[in-house]
A and B are shown apart, each in its own frame.
Chain A
Amino acid sequence: MFESASRGEVADTVPAEKGRSELYELDPSDIVLKTKSLTLGFGGSTVLDGVSLEFPRGSITSLIGPSGSGKTTFLRSLNRMNDGIRGYRRQGEVLLDSASIWDSAVNLLQLRRRVGMLFQRANPFPMSIRENVLVGVKAHGLAKRNDFDEITETLLKEVGLWKAVSDRLNGSPFSLSGGQQQLLCLARALAVRPEVLLLDEPTSALDPFSIELVENLIAKLAPKVTFVVVTHNLAQARRLSHATAFFFQGRLAEYGPTNKIFTAPSQLDTQRYVSGSIG
């Protein structure tokens, strides 16, 4: 079968059972993104209370917890996607390379170039596949027109889409499968050379084969890009991330190396969640 063959190939590149997070060393003192007692809410209700987290450069951090525990609100605050939402309020700080992202000197567009996002479902733009890849590059003026073809090819190869779409770069992205669309969105996000990528349940709408593709990509990109991943897939958090943060009832209940969170959590709630007795 075609699928099982390509599965084998992919599995060869990254030995899944080893735990991808152990493939390279992180410098724990090099913190790219950091939140300081971040409290978030909408209108009268507080969604998240006093979260302090640090994301070392090149790390993959999973945010886990039941629905409604504030993970997504937290994630969306990291590149100010919530700023336009009615009634949104916040206290505390988010520091990108030690500078507040809400500082008046910060350019919002530049912030979002540096801290990108991938969403729950693929959201290709209504333009050709090629334009989808290049749209951010063009908006930020990151490259010259002569380089566009090369950039498109490099990025599509990086996410493993090149073979599938090289003959229809000017075609519609909506003719692609759900998994391919999400990979295209990843290529689009990578095209502006982000330092941090926020992933909001990026594989929840994908089939297992596509999930593996996306996970392998994240693992491959991680030394260059820092990932913060909201996921309901505990196995994914376990095999993908260096560190895991467990959100429960609007608070950061526990944070630590993934291994410890899953094998020796200090909180009862964490233990019950990761073992599947709640959630």
Chain B
Amino acid sequence: MSSTVVPTERHDSPDENIRHREKGNRSFLGLKIVSTVAALIPVLALLAIVAVLLSESLPAIKLNGISFFTKFAWRPGGTYSLPTKTDGILHPVGSSFGIWPLLAGTLESSGIALLIAVPVSIGAALAVVKKLPKGLSTGVGFFLEILTGIPSVVYGLWGVMTLGPTLSRDVFPLIAKHAPSGFGFNFFKGNVGHGEGLITSGIILAIMVIPIISATTRDLLKQVPTLTEEGGMAIGMTDWETTKKITLPWVSKGVIGACILGLARALGETMAVAMVSGSVLGTIPSNLYSTFTTIAATIVSQLDSALTDGTGFYVKTLAETALVLMVITLLTNVAARLLVKRVSSSGLPVGRGV
């Protein structure tokens, strides 16, 4: 058969037609193989990352031991003196690492971020879908989407230059002064610092997470059937009762998912937090305004000095730290799935139309 077959000729004889299409079918098989391989790449990439992180951090895991999770210390040791060997692992003299303050800082700042972001996001989404006139609602929606695209370093810079100083001058002293005394509330009292610290990081994280949660929630709310909401109106429920009992339960599964997405973002956020946390290693925040640090921020801020450690032990410890962050994020996702499953098996149509 000639290789320059004009398309019209193909259909002249049924035999040739079949042959051509069979050829096409074979190349479709090829496409299937290629796409299968392509689909496997993310899986392989994840496995490779875990494997490398594990093997790189293995010496650190061995030497730092279980007390890695309870210790406060973060001492790289003397990188200029001769290294020493413990249990066959080379490390600088006097090095000692504990991840507890970073872990606490990560969880606290992300927790604060969610506490602020969840109500604001759901409120914003409700306003955009239900309350605002159409033009304004489109505008607000547009700005919400733009917010997601702002690089985190810009948030960080804004936090350091404007938000932090303003809050610590005008707002934090008021909170510290008027917070009631007592066991739990002492966390709100004390030195308000200069704007770099836990609460500033929490607020910055919240601002970064709000667009994620509210955009998803908004899309979910748009899918709630009008007929169901009108059913609430028709038996004399108020707008708020309809929202609380019908609209929000209808989308709750999806909203929980969106919040977990936001939490994952907050847990792993690096640059902005590294800039506004104050990057203080080795202590956990004593009050709401204390300087602190998180796992992600520590990895990025300590990498340079870690690379100067000739034994490589500091970098290996950072790898172990990264591994912990990954496990936390993974656990968050698993917890989210279990939670969502539990909610949906309670018989409610949560997340219908998601």
Which A positions have Cβ atoms within 8 angstroms of B?
79, 81, 84, 108-113, 116-117, 119-121, 123-128, 135-136, 139-140, 170-172, 174-175, 185, 188-189, 191-192
Contacts and interface: CB of A to CB of B under 8 A. Distances in A.
Contact of A126 (B235, B241, B348): B348
Of residues B232, B238, B250, B352, which shows the largest number of chain A Cβ atoms within 10 Å of its Cβ? B232
B235 A188 contact: yes
Interface centre among B231, B232, B241 (most CB of A within 10 A): B231
Contacts of B245: 125, 127, 135
A119 B227 contact: yes
Given A119-B230, A127-B245, A136 B349 contact: no
Nearest to A137: B235
B347 A136 contact: no
Q: Which residue, A136, A170, A185, has most C-beta atoms of chain B within 10 A?
A: A136
A128 B352 CA distance: 15
Nearest to A117: B234
B284 interface: no
B166 interface: no
A255 B347 CA distance: 46
Contact of A125 (B236, B246, B347, B350): B246
Most buried by B among A84, A172, A188: A172
B227 to A, nearest CB: 5
Contacts of B350: 126
Contacts of B234: 79, 81, 112, 116-117, 119, 189
Nearest to A131: B245
> Quick one: which of B235, B241, B246 has the most chain A CB within 10 A?
B235
Contacts of B241: 139
A193 to B, nearest CB: 11
Interface residues of B, number: 22
A279 B348 CA distance: 40
B190 to A, nearest CB: 45
Given A123-B227, A127-B249, A139-B241, A112 B235 contact: yes
Given A84-B233, A128-B347, A172-B349, 19 more contacts: A79-B234, A109-B237, A110-B236, A117-B230, A119-B230, A119-B234, A126-B348, A126-B349, A136-B235, A139-B237, A139-B238, A139-B241, A140-B236, A174-B349, A175-B347, A188-B231, A188-B235, A189-B235, A192-B235
B228 interface: yes
Contacts of B352: 126, 174
B24 interface: no
Given A135-B245, A172-B349, A125 B231 contact: yes
Nearest to B247: A126
B231 A123 contact: yes
A126 B250 contact: yes
